[in-house]
Structure 1
Amino acid sequence: MDSISWNVESGIQTLCESVFVRLCQIVGTSKQVAIRRDSRAIRELLDKRVLENDEAVNMESGSAGEGFRLSGSDVDYMYWPNGYRVIWDILQCEYYYNANKILILADCSESPPGFSLLELLTEERDRERNLQSVCVKMNDRLFLSSSQFRQETEAVQFPNSKEHGPCESGDLGGLEYDFAYCFYCIFWPPSASSWIDRCHFWPDDEVVNNIVRNGCHFVPIGHPLGIQGHEHKEWRISFSLAERKLVHSMTHCQFLTYGLLKIFLKEVINKHSDETNKLLCSYHIKTVVFWVIQQNAFPLWCPQNLLAGFWVCFKLLMKWVYEGVCPNFFIPENNLFLSKVHGSAQRRLFLQLEDLYNKGLTCLLQSSSIRSCLIDVLYNLRLSICTDEVRMKPEVVFDLELFNEIGRKSSPFTKNLHRCIKFLHALDQLIGIPLTQCQILMVQKLIATIIRDTAFALKNRYTATGLNKQMYIADRMSYHMMKLAAKFGFISDMAYIAMYCYKTLRYREAVYVIKIIKAKLAQPYLIYNGEVDRKRYTEVLGGKSLSTKMRHAVAGDIALNTSICYISELTPEQQSALQNLRQTICIPLFVMLHFVQFLCHRHTDTTLAQATLEELQVLVHHDQGLYVRELLRDISWEILGICQQISGNHQAALYSYQQSFTQFPLNKIQNATQIRIQELHTT
């Protein structure tokens, strides 16, 4: 009997370890998750130090902000105007006495728990967006209408967006997104003060204090039941920033359990019935995990016990569905089930969960992502599982994760020379604080990006003066800065040297630089847009420093700041993107290299110019996503059209512009495309 009991216990432990390893493959190891969070933290810290009052702050929220990279997950961002602040008490105005902020007063007196009215207190002057247009008058006071605010901000980022709760939602080339436009309050909500008193076990005091110091947000959605008739005026208190900090404070095993529950919801619970598949969402799952950890309902979180933690969370979810109550983690009086989980749908959902519960842990066999690792153990209970994360994945996997995250987050909005200097000053301040290895690489790449943009901004400023001596000095300085920047960043950063050489009429030198870049890009160990021959990369670069790998083996697409002139031929596209609130234009590296090479050869060798144009045409027409990503086909066709128009082939140029116009408008260059088409029709 003891032997049977031991075998069962040992078998369950092996199941847990197998699921742990599988989740590390799907969700990521603790090192991978740390890379995602650390790189984002540096970028957000940098932006926070340079943003001005008339700009918007953005924060990556949702699962990606928490550290997940799950297949099929959407991208969530929150945006709020930096020149506005919400306060809870009129006495808090003193905090902003010299801050030049527009103040908004939160009034919860007539709203249900978790919601508030927002009263505009300060008169708006010289603001690009005036909130008067979304205000409604009540008792001689101006309140912001959440519904009108949503209508005004709808489709700000992308024209085909739809309303989804408080968000602008849509599909970005197969990637779903949710953008929430909101307001920020640095003060902790009085209605959430009880949460602070509950934090005896988790999170620790440092995390609690950090969360409270950073306040909350207000997103434009009223209470679903329309209590007091204020549903179109009410705003929901959002704890997205606090939630992100809480998830970051979890142990990796807790984080993986949360990930397992998200997968279980998507692949099992929400697959059962059309009537119930919209009742539960990942936010309910997150709330369950928060309560379980804080109440210490499951004290032993480790790989050998992972499924027990999953089961405790699942049982709490079942209990809440049965009772029809899901208490918000920060304001428990706010029942998250109030408008959805009730009546016959609630009963059906509970019966569905009860059926899964009766199956025990075998219900996980219904998950396509988890099934195989369970079956492997069930066929061989004596299977030995290694849970050492260091041995789970090779070095190249972590390198890919790191360089992918750095590539995603290393294009700050350096709109002019003044902003570039502010960024450099902020980076200088970062050097004095403790940084992880990932953050050091992130800073290194950011330095390269900002020095490069500083060089172009400096050149543009002194070219505009027309003073020869100043122009000469600025050119010498800028050219030196360009070469310096290329020593810090990716291989693709060298393309900016070629662009600068073209801009300053150094055509042969630009072609020479492009030749060097192409030779580097031909190396078999190159990482380009997250793809690499792993075997060759490991053979050549295994064990080398991350800085060496970044400088010699990594390349990505070209990001052009829409406020800085790099190549005059692209000015209309940059202006179009800027008018549509795009901060950067993203161009495939190989398209940009052919573009600059063509422009240079026009001045030195027309035969080579035609040959380069033909190569560019083949690339744009026939590439299957290897060198020209689907999302970047708008600018790729546009550049091909520009080259064809310059060479005199107007018919081919017209076709290319028309193709550009039909692509997904990621770069927001449609206005420029229309103008170019009209120009061709008039010539």
Structure 2
Amino acid sequence: MEGMTREKHESLKFYNYLCQKIGSEEVVRIRRLALVIYDIGLKNTITSGSKGEGLDLKGSDIDVMYIDRYFEVYESETEKIVLDSHRLPFVMNTDETQPCYTQLYLITHHQNKKLIFNVSGGLLNVLEMSHLRYVLSSEQYKQYCMSVYCRFKSPKQVHGPCISGGNGEHDFAWCLKCDTWICQAKPWVGRPRTAWPSPELISKIISCGVLFVPIGCKGSINQNIEWRISFSVAENFLIFSFSHTQLLCYAILKILLKELVEKHQDLKGLLCSYFIKTLMFWILEETDLYVWRPDNIIPCFMACLKRLLYCVRYSILSHYFIPENNLFLLRFNTNNKEKIITILSNFYGQGINCFASSETLQDYQNYSDESTESLISRNIRFVQQIMPTFYTIRRMLGADQILRLLYNFLHSSRTGTSRLLFALQIAEASMVVADIYLYPNRSGNKHYYFSYIHVLSHLTIGLNMDALSGLLKLASFLYVHKNYEASLNMIAYILQKCTDEKFDMSFIYQERIVILIQKRVLNLMKKEKLETIMKSLIIHSCYFEQNSSIIPQELQLDVSGMRNVFLPLPFAHFLNFLCYYHLHDISSCKQSLQRLEQVQQRLSHCSTEVFIPDTLNTVICCGIARQLIGDTFIARKDFKVAAALDEYNITSAASRLFNLI
């Protein structure tokens, strides 16, 4: 009995430790809700990956799947097919494919049509002829998507059906959708199971249909025209149904894989997170729910590790929805299989002590559950854990059509946390609306006044987004409308708020920059709500949409092709400079330029890898200011520095340098 009590105590201690290191139930719920709101806003978007699951582990990424609504997929031509002149219908053909794969044939009614996309570099045909019918080529389709993506971004790599973003934190995949649950997966619905997933969850999952991603079965002679059947929506629902103990077990299995197994370079990529996810689904379906308790988390983890070891040893891991597909078939050779078995066996022998060599969980032995975490410490950790998720969403958001939808969801939200998240996203959306607003081509003060008030009202709502960026865009709006004195007053207030205790989200992923929480913040966290903390302490970079109507004319070139981002403090000094320049206050103008260049010098000591184009835009602002006051020699020097660092030519530096020659 004493031994059992000791084991339960150790499990509870480990559970509490994991809540602090990986995230509490509350933190996970907020991370998920933030990304769900993002999906709601953009429509036809599904966010998954570790961050989409509510985890923010080292190396976590976001997988974003865009549903291409130009295509409709049906399981057979006997279904009721909705013909739409704007969409092409395809039918599945699995006669010549492995389980979990299909070909997509253009439905007979549309055989006389040939789908052509006009892309830079020529015409790309995404249809091929097979068995006297048009089939949608997964390879050609992916190439088309890459060409579209690369117009705006420069991907680091392409792997499988995905394109990795420039910083490696996002994987983008375009996919097609079938609105019905396909026959291959129908046995899953009535499969014998204990209690998970529930009948209600199963009904919800099958109502969402399935997706198709552009990747064929490796080794197939028809690989280029095959599509993999994806259950990403269903998998998200399943993971969201995990208890927190189950989610933590899932998380530490991923940590074991990424931080321990993949230390061996020859094993890197051999096992992947999707295998861990599949393993968890099978285990949960076969076990009783009461086993998954916080005071039993260590035995649960050990059982999962033992199951993984079994699957590797016998090279069998069935796909969760279509078991005929063995994910481990031909996955290993003799050497790497024996090596993985040896490593996993050693981990199993060590128990949770195996994490002593893990970067994330290495300090567990120093953790004491006797000291109660203070409310202040909890709030600090809470903000630190959820802000990367908000930062990620903010960098990806850019659609004004979400505003009404978000407003409706705000008023139907049941919890204070969800209302806060929707309110923050409404503030963000309002900023976008103000940014992209096109003034009517009409003369007269009346039309100008209504347009001015319309934009001003949205900017006012946007002030709730964070501590500074909303104010900065309002100051920029005032400058654009030549209200220089009002803009200067606003900037003075902004510069007063640029204090050290703020969470500057521009540097959230720069590991060597540590966020220092000073006494004022601690006092604030003692008495203020999360909403107040986020509005008072968080600083976002200042984003301007393509062809923004509220960015200074001097920076219009920088938003002519795409949205752009400026660091808040240097942008404030640059705006200050511009106001004084137009007021012909040369002395104040030079002081503002001096402060701008001092900020730039401090930024130059940071690695530029994370900050392109953010810090490069600061260098460009310095060059523009020098050019305006007639110092073309230094202006040319600034533009030359920025152009040299602009690897993908995504800033205006090269263009401005050319115009100065």
Q: By the TM > 0.5 criterion, same fold?
A: yes
Q: 2:280 aligns with which of 272, 276, 289?
A: 289
Please name the residue that 1:527 is paired with: 503
Please name the residue that 2:490 is paired with: 513
**Greater mean alpha carbon deviation, residues 33-42 or residues 217-226:** 217-226
Given the superposition, is the C-alpha separation of residues 480 and 166 from structure 1 closer, same or farther in structure 2, using an over 3 Å criterion?
closer
Runs of at least 5 residues in structure 1 that lack an aligned partner in the other structure: 1-5, 49-56, 378-382, 578-583
Given the superposition, is the C-alpha separation of residues 196 and 446 from structure 1 closer, same or farther in structure 2, using an over 3 Å criterion?
same
Please tell me whether residue 251 in structure 1 is matched to residue 243 in structure 2.
Answer: yes
How far does the alpha carbon of each residue in 1:558-616 deviate from its partner, in whole angstroms, 9 at most, with x for none? Answer: 11112432222222221232xxxxxx322111122122111111111122122211211
Q: Give 1:265's aligned amino acid.
A: L
Aligned counterparts, 1:145-544, within 5 A: 145-154=137-146, 156-157=149-150, 158-169=153-164, 172=167, 175-198=168-191, 201-226=195-220, 229-271=221-263, 273-296=264-287, 299-360=290-351, 362-373=353-364, 375-376=365-366, 393-410=377-394, 420=400, 422-458=401-437, 460-462=438-440, 464-486=441-463, 490-522=467-499, 525-529=501-505, 531=515, 533=517, 535-544=519-528
Q: CA deviation at 1:361?
A: 5.1
Q: CA deviation at 1:160?
A: 4.8
Q: Give 2:361's aligned amino acid.
A: I
For residues 118 and 80 of structure 2, what CA distance do their matches in structure 1 show?
A: 23
Given the superposition, is the C-alpha separation of residues 207 and 285 from structure 1 closer, same or farther in structure 2, using an over 3 Å criterion?
same
Given the superposition, is the C-alpha separation of residues 11 and 664 from structure 1 closer, same or farther in structure 2, using an over 3 Å criterion?
farther
| Contact residue 115 and residue 234 of structure 1 kept, 8 A | yes
Given the superposition, is the C-alpha separation of residues 520 and 274 from structure 1 closer, same or farther in structure 2, using an over 3 Å criterion?
closer
For residues 479 and 54 of structure 2, what CA distance do their matches in structure 1 show?
A: 41
For residues 396 and 360 of structure 1, what CA distance do their matches in structure 2 show?
A: 31
Given the superposition, is the C-alpha separation of residues 262 and 493 from structure 1 closer, same or farther in structure 2, using an over 3 Å criterion?
same
Please tell me whether residue 59 in structure 1 is matched to residue 46 in structure 2.
Answer: yes
| Contact residue 168 and residue 178 of structure 1 kept, 8 A | yes
Please name the residue that 2:21 is paired with: 26
For residues 431 and 265 of structure 2, what CA distance do their matches in structure 1 show?
A: 53
Please name the residue that 2:611 is paired with: 630
Please tell me whether residue 88 in structure 1 is matched to residue 79 in structure 2.
Answer: no
Aligned counterparts, 1:648-659, within 5 A: 648-659=630-641
Q: Give 2:182's aligned amino acid.
A: P
| Contact residue 428 and residue 462 of structure 2 kept, 8 A | yes
| Contact residue 106 and residue 116 of structure 1 kept, 8 A | yes
For residues 241 and 519 of structure 1, what CA distance do their matches in structure 2 show?
A: 46
Given the superposition, is the C-alpha separation of residues 119 and 566 from structure 1 closer, same or farther in structure 2, using an over 3 Å criterion?
farther
Q: CA deviation at 1:321?
A: 1.2
Q: State the secondary structure of the residue aligned to 1:90.
A: coil
Q: Give 1:65's aligned amino acid.
A: G
CA RMSD of aligned residues (A): 3.1
**What is the TM-score of this pair, normalised by structure 1?**
0.85
Given the superposition, is the C-alpha separation of residues 348 and 572 from structure 1 closer, same or farther in structure 2, using an over 3 Å criterion?
same
Please tell me whether residue 103 in structure 1 is matched to residue 89 in structure 2.
Answer: yes
For residues 91 and 376 of structure 2, what CA distance do their matches in structure 1 show?
A: 52
Given the superposition, is the C-alpha separation of residues 389 and 316 from structure 1 closer, same or farther in structure 2, using an over 3 Å criterion?
farther
Q: State the secondary structure of the residue aligned to 1:576.
A: coil
For residues 573 and 74 of structure 1, what CA distance do their matches in structure 2 show?
A: 29
**Greater mean alpha carbon deviation, residues 308-317 or residues 430-439:** 430-439
Q: Give 1:572's aligned amino acid.
A: L
Given the superposition, is the C-alpha separation of residues 553 and 359 from structure 1 closer, same or farther in structure 2, using an over 3 Å criterion?
closer
Given the superposition, is the C-alpha separation of residues 680 and 120 from structure 1 closer, same or farther in structure 2, using an over 3 Å criterion?
farther
Please tell me whether residue 676 in structure 1 is matched to residue 656 in structure 2.
Answer: yes
Please name the residue that 2:59 is paired with: 72
How far does the alpha carbon of each residue in 1:322-378 deviate from its partner, in whole angstroms, 9 at most, with x for none? Answer: 2211111111111111242244433443343334434555544443543442x458x
Given the superposition, is the C-alpha separation of residues 253 and 144 from structure 1 closer, same or farther in structure 2, using an over 3 Å criterion?
same
Q: Give 2:184's aligned amino acid.
A: S
Please name the residue that 1:3 is paired with: none
Given the superposition, is the C-alpha separation of residues 411 and 282 from structure 1 closer, same or farther in structure 2, using an over 3 Å criterion?
closer
Given the superposition, is the C-alpha separation of residues 444 and 625 from structure 1 closer, same or farther in structure 2, using an over 3 Å criterion?
farther
How far does the alpha carbon of each residue in 1:263-288 deviate from its partner, in whole angstroms, 9 at most, with x for none? Answer: 111233333x5443432111111111
Given the superposition, is the C-alpha separation of residues 131 and 11 from structure 1 closer, same or farther in structure 2, using an over 3 Å criterion?
farther
Q: CA deviation at 1:547?
A: 3.4
Q: CA deviation at 1:393?
A: 4.9
Q: State the secondary structure of the residue aligned to 1:181.
A: strand
Q: CA deviation at 1:93?
A: 5.2
For residues 282 and 456 of structure 1, what CA distance do their matches in structure 2 show?
A: 39
**What is the TM-score of this pair, normalised by structure 2?**
0.88
Q: State the secondary structure of the residue aligned to 2:91.
A: strand
**Greater mean alpha carbon deviation, residues 153-162 or residues 533-542:** 153-162
Please name the residue that 2:134 is paired with: 142
| Contact residue 38 and residue 438 of structure 1 kept, 8 A | no
Given the superposition, is the C-alpha separation of residues 159 and 527 from structure 1 closer, same or farther in structure 2, using an over 3 Å criterion?
closer
Q: CA deviation at 1:217?
A: 1.9
Q: State the secondary structure of the residue aligned to 1:548.
A: helix
Q: CA deviation at 1:488?
A: 6.3
| Contact residue 16 and residue 369 of structure 2 kept, 8 A | no
For residues 404 and 85 of structure 2, what CA distance do their matches in structure 1 show?
A: 21
Q: CA deviation at 1:513?
A: 0.5
| Contact residue 476 and residue 550 of structure 2 kept, 8 A | yes
| Contact residue 406 and residue 442 of structure 1 kept, 8 A | no
| Contact residue 43 and residue 410 of structure 1 kept, 8 A | no
Q: 1:642 aligns with which of 624, 636, 641?
A: 624
Q: CA deviation at 1:385?
A: 5.1
Q: State the secondary structure of the residue aligned to 1:182.
A: strand
For residues 164 and 496 of structure 2, what CA distance do their matches in structure 1 show?
A: 42
Q: Give 2:593's aligned amino acid.
A: L
Given the superposition, is the C-alpha separation of residues 298 and 551 from structure 1 closer, same or farther in structure 2, using an over 3 Å criterion?
closer
Percent identical: 25
